[in-house]
Structure 1
C-alpha cells in the first residue's frame, strides 16, 4: 500500500480561532456538555480520521471574561467519548510535572481497556506559573528540570505498563486460577524524583502501552520526542521550517535506534474553507473582527512567561528586539521561536501578529477553497514536511463539516487518505508497532 497521510482532529473550545465562541455558526452547546465532544468525535469517526485530541490547562486564564475554553478534564472526557465511538483514536493531555506516575499509568491503561485499544497520551511538562500555584509550588520548574523529571517519569510509567505479562491473566474458572503471579512483577523504581514499588494494579492494556504523543519543539523537546514519541504535534507557519523540523526529528529518531516511520509528525493546520478564495478570506476577516486585541496581548504575554507587552502600540511594525530572548523563556520555548520567526520574516505590527495568532496560536492558518487546502496538504505530505496533519478547524462544528464534505473526498480520490478503517486500535491507524511485553 502507498503511504497515506494521518488526520487528527484537535478539539478546542468552539473552534481554534479565539473568537470562535462568538460566531453564530459555532455549536450552541455549553463547553461543559459531553454531547459536544461525543458529537465531534462521531463526525470525525464517520470520516475515518485516525484520532481526536484534547489539550489541557491546569489553571484558569486571566482572559476568562472574554474567552471560552475546553473546560472539562480530558481523561474523564475521553472515557465518555470512548463509549460513544468504536474506531477512532482518543488522545488526552496529562502533565508529567503535576501528576503521579502510578495514577497516570493506571488512568491511561484503564482508558485503553475501556476503548479496546484506542488511547494515546500527549506528554507535556507544564510551565504555567499559575499551574504551579495550584499544585502547591511557589513557581514553575525550569525548562531543563521539567525535562529531567519527565525522563524519569517516562521510565516509571513504561515499566508500570509492562509490569504485567500479556499472558498474565488466564481466567481459568475450572482450575481456580485467575492470574499467573510469576507474570506480574514489581518495578522497584528508586530515582531522584520517584520511589515506586509497583506493579500496576490492572492487567496490561490492549495496545501494550498507550500511543505516546508529544508536542515540544525546542532542542530538548525534540530529543525527548526522539526517545519516546510515536506521534508529534508541531506548529509551523511555513513549509520550509516544517521540512527542517521533519528532517531533524526523523534523524534524531534514527539516532535513538528507532525506525523513522515509528514517529509520525503531524503539523497543525487550521483551514478556513470557502467555495471561492474570496469567500474564505471574507469568512476569515469576519471572524478576526470578533477578536479582542487586548485578549490577544495577554495571551502573547503568557506565551513569553508573563513578559509585559502593554507598552507596544498596536500599529507599529515589530522587531525581534521587542521580545525577550527565547533561550531565557521558561515557558513553551518552541512556540516563542515560531512567533519571533514570523515577526522577523513578515515585519508585522502587533495588531497583525495578534490577528495571526488568534487563528490557531502559532499553527499554520489558511483561507482557501477545498482544492487549495488539499493541494497544500499533498504538497507538505509529499515534500517531506508532514506525515499527516493535526486538523484545527477555526469554527466547530461548521469548518469540520466543510473539511469532511469537501476536502476529505479530494484526498481520498488522490489516494492520500483511507476510505475505511483497516484496523481496530490507534496503533493500527498510525501504523505503529505494539511494544513487546515482559519476557518469560
Structure 2
C-alpha cells in the first residue's frame, strides 16, 4: 500500500491546534522540515498540502467564527513551504495545491516543472477548481462558475500545462561546451494554443522534468470530478464514511479510467484516515473523546459550512439537514449525508461531528488500526491511505513509530524506497511526450 500525509500550511482542523501535545510552529521553516523528516523515515510516499485562496466565509457569510476558531486560517502559500522541505529530504514526494480557477497555465506549468527538477523528480500538483465564492471575490469575480464550467476550464488548463511540459523533448539539452551547442532547436517548439479560456504561445523556458509531468493529484467526487480524475489523476484523494462507499467509489473511478483508455492500475486511490492510537481499545476511545471535546460546536458548524459553501445558519440547526444544492466539496457533502441518515443527526449535531470527525474509523490499538487498513486495502477500497493527523507533529511521530512497523511486519508496506522519483515509488508510469493529445481526444 501507499501512504500520503495530509497537511495544511497552518493549523490543522479546528481542534488539533488546541491539543496539549500540538506544537504551534506554523510560520517556521524547521517545523515543516522536521515533520517531513519524520515522514521520510517512515517511508511515506508523499506529503500533501491542501490550500484555498480566501479566508472562509460560512455562517452568515461572515469570517468571524472562522477567524475566532482557526477554521481555514492562517494558510501559508504551499509552494515556498514544499520548497524548503525539499532541501531537507531526499525521497519524500512533495505536493502543493494550485487552483485552475485563479492561476494561469504558463505560470503553473513553469512552477511545477521547476520544482520537479529541483527535487529530482519528487513534485506533485494537487489540482483544484476552487469551491468557495469567497475565493472568486479575491480575483474580481462575484461568484464561482458552476461546477461543470469549472471542470471545463480545468480540462483546458491541464491540456495547456501538459503541452508546455512537452514543449521540450526529452533529448533537447546538449550542453556541449566544445561545439557551443546548448540545445537542439528542432527539439524545442512553441505550442500556439488558442482555446476557449486560454491563449498561450509557449514554449516553456524549463526543459521537460524528470517525471515528464509532475504527479497529478485530484479530489473531485462529483460526476464531473470523477471524469476529470479518470483522465488526468495519478493519485485521487477522497473521503469515505464507510468501507462500502469506498469500495463503490474506487470501482467507479477505475471503470471510468478504463473507458477513458487508461490502465486503472496506474491510478492510486488514497482515502483519508485519521488514526487515534491507544494502548487498549478503551484508551484509544478515551483519546478520541478528548479530541472531540477540543472542538467547539460552532467551529465544527463553520467548518462544515465552509466546505459545502452553504450558509447553514439559514436553516433550523435543531432539525435534520435538508437536501442542498452544494457548489462546494461534493465528496464531503456525500459523506455528511451518509452520516446524518445513519445517526439521525440535526444540523447542529452534524456540525459538531464534522469538526471532530476521525475519518476511516481508525481508533484503537496498533494491531486494530493495522487490521482495518489491511481490510480496506485487501477488499479493494483503497490503494493506500492519506493520513490526516489529529495534531502535529506528534500524531505523525506516533503513526510512523508504531503503525508503520506493524504494516511492514505484515508485508503491506515498504521498508525502503523503491525508486528515485515519486512516480517510481507510486508505481505510476512516466507520461510519454504528447500524452496530452490522447487525453484531449478522450475529453472531447
TM class, shorter-length: over 0.9
- Contact in 1 for aligned 2:241/2:339 (Cα 8 Å): yes
1:385 to 357, 381, 384: 381
Q: Distance in 2 between matches of 1:227 and 1:438?
A: 14
Q: Paired residue for 1:46?
A: 41
Q: Paired residue for 1:184?
A: 188
TM (norm. structure 2) is: 0.92
- Contact in 2 for aligned 1:12/1:70 (Cα 8 Å): no
Q: Distance in 2 between matches of 1:419 and 1:14?
A: 30
1:340 paired with 2:344, answer no
Q: Distance in 1 between matches of 2:135 and 2:168?
A: 34
| Bigger shift: residues 395-404 or 163-172 | 395-404
Shift of 1:14: 7.0
> What residue ranges of structure 2 are gaps of 5+ in the alignment?
57-62, 436-444
In angstroms, what is the RMSD of aligned CA positions?
1.7
1:355 to 352, 356, 365: 352
Q: Distance in 2 between matches of 1:354 and 1:438?
A: 46
Q: Distance in 1 between matches of 2:323 and 2:191?
A: 43
SS at match of 1:213: strand
TM (norm. structure 1) is: 0.93
Q: Distance in 2 between matches of 1:276 and 1:294?
A: 31
Q: Distance in 2 between matches of 1:128 and 1:114?
A: 32
Shift of 1:70: 5.6
Q: Distance in 1 between matches of 2:415 and 2:132?
A: 41
Shift of 1:87: 0.5
Shift of 1:342: 1.3
Q: Distance in 2 between matches of 1:302 and 1:268?
A: 19
Shift of 1:311: 4.7
SS at match of 2:97: strand
- Contact in 1 for aligned 2:275/2:363 (Cα 8 Å): yes
- Contact in 2 for aligned 1:32/1:71 (Cα 8 Å): no
1:366 to 329, 354, 362: 362
Q: What are the Cα deviations for residues 319-364 of structure 1, in whole angstroms up to 9, with x where unaligned?
A: 3xx3343xx322222221221121112212445422331235x843
Alignment of 1:213-224 (within 5 A): 213-224=217-228
Q: Distance in 1 between matches of 2:312 and 2:377?
A: 38
Q: Distance in 2 between matches of 1:197 and 1:97?
A: 20
1:255 paired with 2:259, answer yes
Q: Distance in 1 between matches of 2:305 and 2:415?
A: 43
- Contact in 1 for aligned 2:9/2:81 (Cα 8 Å): no
> What residue ranges of structure 1 are gaps of 5+ in the alignment?
none
Q: Paired residue for 1:425?
A: 421
Aligned length: 426
Q: Paired residue for 2:119?
A: 115
1:270 paired with 2:269, answer no
Q: Distance in 2 between matches of 1:47 and 1:230?
A: 22
Q: Distance in 2 between matches of 1:138 and 1:28?
A: 35
Alignment of 1:6-405 (within 5 A): 6-12=2-8, 16-29=12-25, 31-61=26-56, 62=63, 63-67=66-70, 69=73, 71-309=75-313, 311-313=315-317, 316=318, 318-319=319-320, 322-325=321-324, 328-360=325-357, 363-405=359-401
